[in-house]
Structure 1
Amino acid sequence: MPLPPEPEPEPGSVPASTSDGPWSIGELAEQAGTTVKTVRFYSDQGLLPERARSSGGHRRYAPDALDRLAFIRSLRNLGLPVPEVRRIVEEQAGAQGALEDAVAGQLRTLGSRLSALRWQESALRLVQESAPRERAERLRLVGALGAPPNTAPLAGFWRAWLPPLMPPKARAAFLDAAVPQPPDAPSPAQVLALARLCALVSGPCPTGPAAHPTQPAAHHAAGERESALLYAGLAEAYDLAALKMRAGANPEKGDALDCFVATYASVLRRRDTPAFRRELARQLSVDPRLDGYWELVADLLTPEGGRPEPTPGTAHDWLLAALDTRLAA
C-alpha cells in the first residue's frame, strides 16, 4: 500500500536539534527524511510509541523512535502489509522468526504474481505471433486458462478415469506422475500445449452403443489391491524405460520390459510365459489410447529448443514396442 502524501508540518515544528531530549513529530519526521503525516499514521497504528505528550497535547518521541521508524519503513518498502509489520515490531524475543516468516510469505506472494505475469506475457505473444486464421481459436483456448494456470481439470479427468477402488495413496502417486506441473516461465508453445490439454480433458466423452471403451482391460480386473499393484508396478517400469529412452536406446529386452510384463501378470494372476506375453501384446495393442494427451504433456514439459522428456505415455509405447520386438525375435 503506498504511503500517504506528504502534508505540511505541524504548526510549531522546528528542525531537529542535537539534543537527546524528546522530539516533536516534526523533528522526528525531518530526522527520518519523511513526512509528518507518515509518522502520525504509524503512531496511530500503534507501530511507533510516543514517549509523552507536551502540555499542549503534542506528541513527543524518544530518539530511539528514529531506528524504529527506519525499520518500519524498510519493511513497508519491501511490500509487507501493516498487520505483518505490526506482528514483527511487537514481538521482542521472537522478532527474528516473525521477520523470516513475513519475508518468506512475501516472496511466495511475489513469486505467484511474477508467474502469472509470465503466463500472461507468453499467452499474448502466442496470439500476436499466430497466423491470422489461427488467432481466434488460440485466443479462445488461452483465454480459458487462469494465470498462473490451474491443473485441476487434468486431475479431475484422471480421477474419473482410474479404477474406482484404487487406494487414495496409489491414486495420489499416479496423479503426481500424470498431471504435469506448468513451468513458471513458459514459452508460447508451452502455453498453447496446456491450453489444448485442458480443452482435451474438458470435452464430452463419447456415449451410446457405438462408443469405444475408454479404459484398459486391466481396469476391469483391478480391485483395491490389484489397482495399487498395477500402477505402482507400471510407475517402476516407466522409470526404468525412461532411463533407456534418455540414453537413446531402441526398445529392447531388459529390466524395464520384465517389470512391465510382471506387473500385468501379477494383477491378472498369471505366470509370465511366452503365451502370456503374446496375449498381453494383443490386448495392449487394442486398449484405448491416450496418445494425444501424452504428446501435449511432452510439449508442455519441453523448454524451447530442448529435448523432449519421456512421459508415462511415451514410456508405455516404448515398452509395448519392446514387447513386440522381443516376441518377433
Structure 2
Amino acid sequence: MSHELLWSIGELAERAGATVKTVRFYSDQGLLPEAARSSGGHRRYGPEQLQRLQLIRSLRTLDLPLPEIRRILQDDPAGRALENAVDGRLRRLGNEMRTLRWREAALELVRDCPPAQRAGRLRLLGALGSPPSTAPLARFWRTWLPPRMPSRATAAFLEVAVPHPPDEPHPAQVLAFARLHAMTTAPCPGGRQPQPEVHRVAGARGAALLYAGLAEAFELAAAHVRRTRDPHPGEALDAYVAAYAGAYRSRDTRDFRRLLAATLAAEPRLDQYWQLAAIVLTPPGARPQPTPGSADDWLRAALRQDNAEAT
C-alpha cells in the first residue's frame, strides 16, 4: 500500500473520533496491528485499520470483553464467534437485570414497612442472595421425601414443589420467598421433617409411583382450582384415590375412601409452605396460581364430600 494512503496514530485517532491513547492500547493488545512502519519506526495505519478500529469500538460499546473481541476478529465479524459472544452477553445482562429487580423490590419492602418491622425484615432478607437460591427449599423437600426415592421421581416432585423467584418480583413476593427460606432452613426437632405415614408403607419405589399418580391428580384438580370450581367427585378425585390405593396395596373401595380421609386428616400439614409458595408464584392482584398444596386441599374436600354423599 502506498504510504500516501497511510496515517499516523494521531491521524487515525482523529478519523475514528478516538483518542491516541485508545488507539495505542488496542495496538499494544494486538487487536489493531499497523499496516506499516515509517522510516523512523512510527506506526502507520490505513483504511482497513480504520474499519477494524470502528468495529472494536462498536463491540466495546456492547460491553464485550477484550478476549471475546479478539476471538471475533480472528474468526469473522459476521461469524459464529460474534453470535456466541452476543448470546453470552445477553445471558449475563439478563442475570444482572434480575438481580437489580430483586434488590429494588427488597429495598421497597424495607422502605414501605412500619419502622417496628424493619429489623425483622432485614434479618429475613439478609439470609438471601440476589436473586435468591432455591437450593435450601430443595434440601427441605429432599429430607421430607422417603430416603432412596429414585432420583427421577425426586426431580419431578421438586419441579412442582419448589417455586422459583420471579424475574420481576413485587415486594410481597420477595417477603414470601424470604419467609419460605426461613421456614425451610429452621432447625427441625428430631432432625427430620414429619412425614406422612404412607411414606413408611410405600417405601422408596412405592413412593415414586405414589407421587407420579398424585402429580396426575393435582394437574386435573388444578384446572378446577383455576376456575374456582367447588370440590366435587370425578376424574381428579379418582386419580387421587388410585394413587394412594396403589401405595397402600389396596383397592379403591368405599371403605378405603373413608379410611384414606381419616388418615389424611391426622397427618402433619405444610399449609404455611403452600400459602407462601402461592404468593411467590402470583403477582398481587392476579388470580392465585394452583400449587400442589391448593390442589391437595381441593381433592381432600372432594373426598370428604364424596364420603358424605355415600353415607
TM-score (norm 1): 0.90
Give the aligned partner of residue 40 of structure 1: 24
For 2:225 and 2:105, locate their aligned partners in 1 and report how far apart those are by CA, in whole Å.
Answer: 30
Is 1:216–1:287's contact at 8 Å kept on the other side of the alignment?
yes
For 1:20 and 1:149, locate their aligned partners in 2 and report how far apart those are by CA, in whole Å.
Answer: 61
Hey, which of these two has a bigger chunk of helix by percent? 2
Pairing 1:320–2:303 present: no
Give the aligned partner of residue 80 of structure 2: 97
Q: CA RMSD in A?
A: 1.5
How many angstroms does 1:269 deviate by? 1.1
Instruction: Structure 1: state its 5+ residue gaps.
Output: 1-18
How many angstroms does 1:222 deviate by? 2.5
Pairing 1:233–2:216 present: no
Deviations 1:105-141 (A, max 9, x none): 1111111111111111111111111112211111111
Pairing 1:147-158 to 2, within 5 Å after superposition? 147-158=130-141
How many angstroms does 1:20 deviate by? 6.2
For 2:16 and 2:282, locate their aligned partners in 1 and report how far apart those are by CA, in whole Å.
Answer: 51
Deviations 1:276-311 (A, max 9, x none): 111111111111100010000011111021111110
Aligned letter for 1:233?
G
For 1:207 and 1:44, locate their aligned partners in 2 and report how far apart those are by CA, in whole Å.
Answer: 64
Is 2:34–2:43's contact at 8 Å kept on the other side of the alignment?
yes
Aligned letter for 2:32?
L
Instruction: Structure 2: state its 5+ residue gaps.
Output: none
Pairing 1:152-301 to 2, within 5 Å after superposition? 152-207=135-190, 214-301=194-281
20 and 176 in structure 1: CA distance in 2 versus 1, 3 angstrom threshold: farther
How many angstroms does 1:61 deviate by? 1.4
The count of residues paired between Structure 1 and Structure 2 equals 307
SS at match of 1:49: coil
Task: Flag as ranges the 4+ runs of structure 1 deviating above 3 A.
Answer: none
Percentage of identical aligned residues: 62
Give the aligned partner of residue 125 of structure 1: 108
Give the aligned partner of residue 303 of structure 1: 283
For 2:82 and 2:233, locate their aligned partners in 1 and report how far apart those are by CA, in whole Å.
Answer: 57
For 2:33 and 2:287, locate their aligned partners in 1 and report how far apart those are by CA, in whole Å.
Answer: 60
For 1:156 and 1:150, locate their aligned partners in 2 and report how far apart those are by CA, in whole Å.
Answer: 11
For 2:274 and 2:231, locate their aligned partners in 1 and report how far apart those are by CA, in whole Å.
Answer: 18
For 1:20 and 1:224, locate their aligned partners in 2 and report how far apart those are by CA, in whole Å.
Answer: 82
Is 1:89–1:95's contact at 8 Å kept on the other side of the alignment?
no
For 1:222 and 1:50, locate their aligned partners in 2 and report how far apart those are by CA, in whole Å.
Answer: 75
For 2:205 and 2:135, locate their aligned partners in 1 and report how far apart those are by CA, in whole Å.
Answer: 26
Bigger relative contact order, structure 1 or 2, given CA contacts below 8 A and separation 6+? 2
How many angstroms does 1:95 deviate by? 4.7
